[in-house]
Chains A and B, each alone.
Chain A
Amino acid sequence: MIPMLLGVSIIAFGLLSLSPGDPLAAQRGNPQVPDELIRRIERQYGFDKPVPEQYLRWLGRVVQGDLGYSFKFKRPVADVIAERMAATLLLALFSTLLTWFLAVPLGVWSALRRSEWPDQVVSVLAFVGMSLPSFFLALLLLYGASVLPELPLIGRIPIGGLVSPGFDQLGPVARVLDVLKHLLLPGVVLAIGGLAGLQRVARGSTLETLSQPYILAARARGLSDRRVLWGHAFRNAANPLITLLGFEFSALLSGAAFTEIITSWPGMGLVALEAVRSKDMFLVMATVLMGSLLLLIGNLLADILHAWNDPRVKLS
Chain B
Amino acid sequence: MNGTTGTFSRLRSAFASSPLAKTALVVLGGLYLAAVLAGWLAPYGMDDESRGHSWAPPSSWHWVDGRPSIHPVSYTFDENARRVYVEDSSRAVPVRLFVNGRLFGLDSLEAAATSEGGASARLYLLGADARGRDLLSRLLYGSRVSLSIGIVGVSISTLIALVVGGLAGFFGGWVDRLLMRLCEVFMLIPAFYLLMLLRATLPLDWDSRVVYLSIVLILSFIGWAGLARVIRGLVQSLRSADYIVAARALGVPPLVILRRHALPQTFGFLAIQATLSIPGYVVAESGLSLLGLGIQDPQTSWGNLLQEAMSIAEIRLHPWSLIPGLFLFAAVLSYNLAGDALRDALDPRSDR
Identify the A interface with B (CB < 8 A): 4-5, 7-8, 11-12, 15-16, 18-21, 114, 124, 127-128, 130-133, 135-136, 139-140, 142-143, 146-147, 159-160, 204, 207-208, 250-251, 253-255, 257-258, 261-262, 269, 272-273, 275-276, 279, 284, 287-288, 291-292, 294-296
Contacts and interface: CB of A to CB of B under 8 A. Distances in A.
Contacts, number: 142
A4 B352 contact: no
Contact of B312 (A146, A288, A292, A295): A146
A4 B184 contact: yes
A127 B340 CA distance: 10
B61 to A, nearest CB: 25
B352 A16 contact: no
Contact of A147 (B197, B279, B316): B316
6 cross-chain pairs, A with B, having the tightest CB-CB distances, nearest first: A7-B185, A131-B333, A254-B192, A136-B325, A257-B192, A291-B193
Given A133-B329, A288-B197, A250 B316 contact: no
A131 B327 CA distance: 11
Contact of A135 (B186, B287, B335): B287
Contacts of A20: 203
A23 to B, nearest CB: 10
A284 B306 contact: no
A147 B337 CA distance: 32
Contacts of B291: 258, 261, 273
B231 interface: no
Contacts of B328: 133, 136
Q: Chain B: interface residue count, which band?
A: 35 or more
B200 A291 contact: no
Contacts of A208: 352
Interface of B: 20, 181-182, 184-186, 188-201, 203, 279, 283, 286-287, 290-291, 293, 306, 309-310, 312, 315-316, 319, 322, 325, 328-329, 332-333, 335-337, 340, 352
Interface of B, helix, strand, loop or mixed by DSSP: helix
11 contacts: A4-B188, A8-B185, A16-B197, A18-B201, A131-B333, A143-B312, A143-B319, A160-B312, A258-B192, A276-B200, A292-B190
B352 A207 contact: yes
A261 to B, nearest CB: 7
B316 A143 contact: yes
B312 A142 contact: yes
Contacts of B332: 131-133
A135 B290 contact: yes
